[in-house]
């Protein structure tokens, strides 16, 4: 994000999440595990030289990672701040744990690193189930995962939340964790990445509730209510417009039929009841069937008016057919 630009909805959600205080050590460990598996960079040289690095352009996330590692492990990461002039972006932040023993301890404790049968260090691309054994830890893991690789579209524009993983094994593991809460997350491959996504407003609201982004989910609900209201109004207006158009078209056809009868055989050919209605229709071209019925003496229901107008229409059609038949006979003669 360039300096001076308005903060995105995603940024606001992450800022809210970073203000959530985590007191339980198990949940702190789950968040650190998520940060390691989303924005962590692990450097392994042999079995005894390991370092870890976290990179983010969000100051609140950098501060959260720093505080979590310091609180849980009493380790102080090295913080580097830089400015990306090439892409005209604001400051970036890198936190590094260079001491191999400290880095190894953090990674093993969070289940990100384990030994194989030959005692070699192996990175775990699945979410360690011991780390997310408790429901509170599952929520904490998802919160940090969203902070690391998540984004959400402004609900004014669309409903879309996604997390972009670099590895398919990890993407599947993350989807399974989200499914645990009854949320139907899916993933697709996109440009060598794996995108876990939610597209329904209710699913997104539930996810935000799980990770405790309360203010943000309330904002989405408010937008949703406004959109639903606006859509309902538009549907009503469209329906009224369609009905009005239908009424106007029908009135135009009725006037046209009456005028044809008048021009060909005259209205006196009509029975008195039909003649009275025909004259009212010619005089009040924009009146509804109900209004026409109220003008008649005696008054007539809407269905009764419609029935009489159908008779007038049929008479006009008969006259047109008769005229057409006469013209055909004339041509033949």
- 3-state SS of the chain is CCCCCCCCHHHHHHHHHHCCCCCCHHHHHHHHHHHHHHHEEEEEECCCEEEEEEEECCHHHHHHHHHHHHHHHCCCCEEEEEECCCCCCCEEEEEEECCHHHHHHHHHHCCCEEECCCCCEEECCCCCCCCCCCHHHHHHHHHHHHHHHEEECCCCCCCCEEEEECCHHHHHHHHHHHHCCCCCCEEEEECCEEEEEECCHHHHHHHHHHCCCHHHHHHHHHHHHHHHHHHHHHHHHHHHHHHHHHHHHHHHHHHHHHHHHHHHCCHHHCCHHHHHHHHHHHHCCCCCHHHHHHHCCCCCCHHHHHHHHHHHHHHHHHHHHHHHHHHHHHHHC
* Domain finish residue from 212, 240, 268: 212
38 and 68 in a single domain? The answer is yes
pLDDT value of position 143:
97
Identify the segments of the chain with pLDDT beneath 70: 1-6, 46-47, 84-90, 117-119, 325-333
pLDDT value of position 25:
96
pLDDT value of position 145:
97
140 and 42 in a single domain? The answer is yes
Total structural domains within the chain: 2
pLDDT value of position 190:
92
Whether 3 maps to a domain, the answer reads: no
116 and 263 in a single domain? The answer is no
Whether 330 maps to a domain, the answer reads: no
- Render pLDDT for 29-78 as a digit per residue (tens, 0 to 9): 999 999 999 999 998 876 678 899 999 999 999 999 999 999 999 999 99
pLDDT value of position 283:
86
pLDDT value of position 110:
96
Q: Which domain holds residue 36?
A: 9-212
Whether 265 maps to a domain, the answer reads: yes
* Domain finish residue from 212, 246, 262: 212
């Amino acid at each position: 994000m360039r300096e001076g630009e308005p903060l995105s909805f995603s940024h606001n959600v992450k800022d809210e999440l970073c203000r959530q205080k985590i007191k339980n050590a198990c949940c702190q460990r789950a968040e650190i595990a998520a940060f390691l598996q989303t924005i962590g960079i692990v450097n392994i040289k042999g079995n005894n030289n390991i370092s870890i690095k976290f990179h983010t352009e969000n100051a609140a996330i950098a501060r959260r990672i720093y505080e979590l590692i310091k609180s849980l492990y009493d380790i102080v990461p090295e913080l580097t701040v830089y400015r990306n002039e090439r892409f005209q972006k604001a400051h970036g932040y890198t936190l590094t744990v260079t001491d191999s023993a400290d880095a190894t301890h953090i990674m093993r404790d969070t289940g990100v690193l384990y030994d194989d049968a030959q005692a070699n260090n192996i990175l775990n691309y699945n979410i360690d189930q011991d780390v997310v054994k408790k429901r509170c830890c599952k929520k904490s893991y998802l919160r940090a995962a969203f902070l690391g690789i998540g984004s959400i579209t402004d609900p004014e524009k669309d409903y879309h939340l996604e997390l972009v993983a670099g590895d398919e094994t990890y993407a599947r593991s993350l989807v399974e964790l989200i499914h645990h809460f009854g949320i139907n997350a899916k993933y697709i491959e996109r440009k060598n990445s794996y995108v876990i996504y939610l597209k329904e407003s209710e699913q997104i609201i539930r996810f935000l509730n799980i990770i405790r982004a309360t203010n943000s989910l309330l904002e989405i609900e408010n937008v949703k209510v406004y959109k639903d209201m606006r859509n309902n109004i538009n549907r009503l207006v469209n329906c009224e417009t369609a009905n009005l158009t239908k009424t106007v078209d029908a009135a135009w056809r009725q006037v046209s039929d009456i005028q044809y009868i008048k021009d060909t055989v005259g209205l006196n050919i009509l029975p008195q009841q039909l003649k009275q209605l025909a004259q009212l229709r010619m005089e009040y071209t924009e009146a509804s069937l109900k209004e026409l019925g109220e003008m008649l003496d005696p008054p007539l229901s809407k269905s009764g008016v419609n029935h009489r107008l159908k008779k007038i229409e049929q008479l006009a059609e008969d006259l047109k057919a008769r005229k057409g038949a006469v013209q055909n006979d004339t041509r033949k003669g």
